[in-house]
Structure 1
Amino acid sequence: MSIVHVLLTGGIGSRLWPLSRKTSPKQYLNLFDGKSLFELTINRNKEIADKIIIVGNKDNSHLSQKAMELCNLPYTNIIESTPRNTAAAIAFAAFSVNPDSILIITPSDHLISGMPSYQEAMNEGIKKAEQGFIVTFGIKPTRPETGYGYIEHEDDFVKSFREKPNKDTAEDFIEKGNFLWNSGMFCFKASVFLEELKFYEKELYIKAYDAWKNSKNGFLDENLSLEIPSISVDYAVMERSKKIRVVSTSFEWSDLGSFESLYEYFVTNGYSKDENGNIVIGTDIFTGFVGLENTILVHTKDALLVVQKEKSQDVKKIYNVLDKMQSKLLD
């Protein structure tokens, strides 16, 4: 039995602008003791899986290649000519392996600590996958977070998936005690996933297979790819299949999706802050904060961002404005 780590490298990290850009998304930034989230993810799974598949787009494949050279591990590269969301990305990986192979699907931009707990969770997921289940990994919530999706469960049965809630709903989820954060990590046999995808999204399955079988050296044809419906794996399979099981995990996890989560990581690991909890990222220039608390100043060569930690989800609004302006500040 082969266990394959499938690393999904799409995503821009818009809530971490101006650090994260289209040409250098957050998963490739060397912010963590000289390593990137991409490298940390590869190293975390190399003892569990015996093969690696990287699924990314043509704009970041060179960054993945550079990161894999640092990891010094062999891998299979699947390069999307145009992003078609996670259901298709996972299907490409599933088409490329033996049907009995077990796939561990992870994003490339999450931060996880506690390797023994992580390995225990993955091993439990693999066992369930061997039994024909599609496994999702849920994180025990530590706060009423509005930036994550949730999984309602009873033991390992998934009762429902919930979208990102407002604060009152998130607090209600925490109080009920049977909700987990949705980590976006999965484990299943390639054949089981493809059977479910074909059942629930037949057109996507057919179009994705057509693009895959006509790929050349891992590059997917653009015209055929554009015909693939752009659907998330959550909607295509996870929220509809009757074969879903959840593993409730105990490792520390963050999707590093905002400056608040980056702040918490930095401060926990001894990053310098002033007496009011203000921090500076990206410059050694003396910076004084007057009348401000828990504020983050981010400095790059062409942009400055000042954001209150609790409002860091709103950074995406700035990104969206710049995107509409077709600003080079996003490149």
Structure 2
Amino acid sequence: MEKNSITHVILTGGVGSRLWPLSRKSKPKQYLDIFDGKSLFEMTVDRNKNLADKVMVVGNIDNCHLSKAVLEKSNTEYIDIIESTPRNTAAAIAFAAFASSADDILIVTPSDHIIGEIQLYEQAIQEAIEKAAKGFIVTFGIVPTKPETGYGYIERKGDNVVSFREKPNQVSARDFIAKGNFLWNSGMFCFKANVFLEELKVYAPDVYDTSKLAWESNKDGILNLELSLTIPSISVDYAIMERSKKIKVVSSHFEWSDLGSFESVYDYLITIGHSVDENGNMVIGTNNYTAFIGVKDTIFVHTENANLILKKEFSQDVKSVYNALERKKSNLLD
């Protein structure tokens, strides 16, 4: 039996609003070089190099040049799919599946996650590929290390998914951890292209039909704006994962963080030796001498035209600052 061709599909659409002012529309968090001198996007490309035969990048018109610069630097050949407007993950993944052969196995990953313990990561990928080859749609669940409220959860029994849960409050998160059969939802998937498209056709036919039309009229991988605007903007979790009967979960032990907030960036930077003062205060973005008086666990984020000062535990609230600036159509988001 011949081996399925494996494609690493990298989704690069997010804007990282909880990491403003570091993350901007012109340079979202996955392209920032604040992580060990490499961007998260570059680290994503590197970690999957040996696991796949092909690389495919699904990005948008505003960031495709940033992906191109990284991939050209490392001489990586890739298939480029450029969305003219963001339509969420169900459509983004559908485009990758339409661009593939029916039996190709796709490993779909975001471009802005930190992953450690690569041996365990590769083990999880191999397990997922085996399940995908049998016709399952595989999601990766991370064994939780703490009752995190910033992530969605997967309730499981063995490798079967019982339910998907939205980001919980602190009480529910503790309850999930205590029960022991809940995993963090990593937003990574593995499946055969045709299996994904068949399930999309069944459970979200409107997304399937409109994505197919948009894909069929692409010009060199660039999708038509008018046709794209007809695609319902829904997540793959909602379109397929919560509905399909073909879902399996791989329970994974590798280190994982989606770096979705300054709290998780703070925790990661400490592990690579970024300095904090004796009260746990951290400076990001400047080498200027900065003194903190009367505060602890505070993060000072400096950029050329905007600063942010926050208590670490209020990291999720950065999005409200971003949303307020968006309502004002502020150029501080660009």
- Which TM-score bucket, shorter chain as reference? over 0.9
| CA drift at 1:70 | 2.0
Question: Deviations along 1:40-91, whole A, 9 cap, x unmatched?
Answer: 0000001000101100110111111111112221000000111111111101
Matched, 1:306 2:300: no
Alignment partner, residue 237 of structure 2: 234
Matched AA of 1:195: E
CA contact (8 A) 2:299 2:309 kept: yes
| CA drift at 1:33 | 1.9
Instruction: Measure the CA separation in 1 of the matches of 2:302 and 2:52.
Output: 38
CA contact (8 A) 2:8 2:56 kept: yes
What secondary structure does 1:223 align onto?
Answer: helix
Task: State the TM-score, normalized to the length of structure 2.
Answer: 0.98
Query: Which residue, out of 206, 220, 243, partners 1:203?
Result: 206
Alignment of 1:166-205 (within 5 A): 166-205=169-208
Alignment partner, residue 164 of structure 1: 167
Task: State the TM-score, normalized to the length of structure 1.
Answer: 0.99
Matched AA of 2:308: L
CA contact (8 A) 2:276 2:282 kept: yes
CA contact (8 A) 1:39 1:71 kept: no
CA contact (8 A) 1:5 1:52 kept: yes
CA contact (8 A) 2:36 2:272 kept: no
| CA drift at 1:141 | 0.8
Percent of aligned pairs sharing the same letter: 65
Instruction: Measure the CA separation in 2 of the matches of 1:248 and 1:34.
Output: 30
Moved over 3 A (4+): none
What secondary structure does 1:124 align onto?
Answer: helix
Alignment of 1:27-42 (within 5 A): 27-42=30-45
Could you tell me which runs of 5 or more consecutive residues in structure 1 were left unpaired when the two chains were aligned.
none
What secondary structure does 1:210 align onto?
Answer: helix
What secondary structure does 1:289 align onto?
Answer: coil
Matched, 1:65 2:68: yes
Matched, 1:254 2:250: no
Instruction: Measure the CA separation in 2 of the matches of 1:165 and 1:258.
Output: 16
Alignment of 1:50-199 (within 5 A): 50-199=53-202
Matched AA of 1:124: E
| CA drift at 1:32 | 1.7
Could you tell me which runs of 5 or more consecutive residues in structure 2 were left unpaired when the two chains were aligned.
none
Question: Deviations along 1:107-159, whole A, 9 cap, x unmatched?
Answer: 00000011100000000000000111000000111111111000000110000
Instruction: Measure the CA separation in 1 of the matches of 2:44 and 2:171.
Output: 33
Instruction: Measure the CA separation in 2 of the matches of 1:242 and 1:317.
Output: 37
| CA drift at 1:290 | 1.1
Alignment partner, residue 300 of structure 2: 297
Instruction: Measure the CA separation in 1 of the matches of 2:23 and 2:229.
Output: 26
Aligned length: 331
CA contact (8 A) 1:42 1:71 kept: no
Matched, 1:25 2:25: no
Tell me how large the CA RMSD over aligned residues is.
Answer: 0.7
Alignment partner, residue 16 of structure 2: 13
